[in-house]
Amino acid sequence: MARTAGSHAETTGPRVREAAQRLIARHGYAAVSMRQIAAEVGVQAGALYLYTPDKQTLLYDLMRLHMEELLATVEALPPLDDPRAALDRFARFHIGHHLDRPEAVFIAYMELRNLTPENFAAIEALRRRYEEGLAAILRDGVARGAFALPDLRLATRAIIAMLTGVTHWFRDMGPMGRDEVAACYAEMVLKTVAAP
Amino acid sequence: MARTAGSHAETTGPRVREAAQRLIARHGYAAVSMRQIAAEVGVQAGALYLYTPDKQTLLYDLMRLHMEELLATVEALPPLDDPRAALDRFARFHIGHHLDRPEAVFIAYMELRNLTPENFAAIEALRRRYEEGLAAILRDGVARGAFALPDLRLATRAIIAMLTGVTHWFRDMGPMGRDEVAACYAEMVLKTVAAP
DNA sequence: GTCTATATACCGATAGAC
DNA sequence: GTCTATCGGTATATAGAC
């Protein structure tokens, strides 16, 4: 991966984040060294500090960018009036979006404990904003008689845990395609909260 | 934490595993040093190697003991004929057992990637055996018309992900007690797979 | 913008005294 | 059974040459 010296500011910054994302997803934040990331990019370790003040900020930026993209995408969806249609779309969106970004999802899930308290709080706030989007769908469905839940907050977390679980085992070479998997999960989620 | 020299073989072994479990659950395997574990126990770093051949085996033993205890407990439950009763009991058991062992559960989920390939395969086999216990309940329920599922394997994983998710947010000081939470989840799980 | 070199500190694991 | 001391290696981050 060695390369000769030169100026590549425009491309090196993103490549640092891409390399960090790939390595951290595979080996974990604490186990990945700045030297490994630099080798993956093709620069020396010291050069990384032109693009991030330190290793912690590199991790924080990966997680923040992931959550901001997730929120921007879901909040840009046109509203749906029918609660069942909204929940069905949410389930399929969540699975599809997460299966398209396995590395970022894995990091967002596994590396929370390696954030400083301030950075953790910022990521947690974004995560709660996403959760609230699902809670709003469920709340509306209950109010309109389409859904029945023992507890709104529990149901919200249960559904997100169920849907995110797909990323732990799904492989593109497996027996089911991602649309088929998403359809199965959407069906189960709807049953979970359906009114009798 | 310093202490004077002496012989404490009977107590030091378990205390090493307890300290390792506490520290690894909080900071992650890669971020915890043998020196930190030794300090927590109250011995010097070199003394740890009387109780484990290396750091990797220490992690593997924690995960193996956790899975073996989980399997022994669930497989010792008396059989239930009604599929709905069996699933209800499984959901409550899973949540109760996991909430009682938050550190072991956290490690079992987060540190799989830090196992050597051989150790990973052994833990994965135990995990699949546990999953199969739930799959058997669902399969029986489908055969007897109590349950209806889009896919047996997906439903098994979806339910385990949903139930295990409780450990990520449950706090004993929160608004709901653990039995109340378990009851809500059991109700949702039953709805998820109920026949129409 | 990137390099080489380095400061300072910690790591896992082992050897040998007691 | 535990300690002290240490080996060989790696870590993050910085300084200064080009």
| B89-120 pLDDT per residue, tens | 999 999 999 999 999 999 999 999 999 999 99
pLDDT at A6 over 70: no
- Of the residues B151, B168, B181, the best mutation for testing chain A's interface (the one with the most A CB atoms within 10 Å of its CB) is B151
Domain ranges of chain A: 1-52, 54-193
Q: Would an 8 Å CB–CB cutoff place A36 in contact with chain B? A: no
pLDDT at B6 over 80: no
From the CA of B165, how many Å to the nearest CA of chain A? 6
- Chain A residue with the nearest C-alpha to that of B31: A30
Domain A54-193 has CATH 3.30.360.10: no
Residue A32, CB, less than 7 Å from strand D?
yes
Q: Cβ of A158 and B187 within 8 Å? A: no
Q: How many CB atoms lie within 10 A of CB A75?
A: 10
pLDDT at A101: 98
Q: Cβ of B157 and A164 within 8 Å? A: no
pLDDT at A19 over 80: yes
Chain A residue numbers touching B114 (CB-CB < 8 A): 28, 31
pLDDT at B80 over 50: yes
Q: What mean pLDDT, rounded, does chain B reach? A: 95
Give the bases of strand C that a protein CB approaches within 7 Å. 1-5, 10-16, 18
Q: Cβ of B192 and A192 within 8 Å? A: yes
pLDDT at B10 over 80: no
Distance, CA of A130 to CA of A127 (rounded, Å): 5
Q: Would an 8 Å CB–CB cutoff place B156 in contact with chain A? A: no
- Alpha helix positions (H), chain B: 9-27, 34-41, 55-75, 83-100, 102-110, 117-143, 152-164, 166-169, 178-193
Distance, CA of A50 to CA of A163 (rounded, Å): 38
| Class of domain B9-52 (CATH, top level) | mainly alpha
Q: Which CATH superfamily is domain A1-52 in?
A: Homeodomain-like (1.10.10.60)
Output the CATH code of domain B56-193.
1.10.357.10
Q: What mean pLDDT, rounded, does chain A reach? A: 95
A10/D8 CA-to-C1' distance in Å: 39
Among B40, B53, B62, B55, which Cα is nearest to B107's? B62
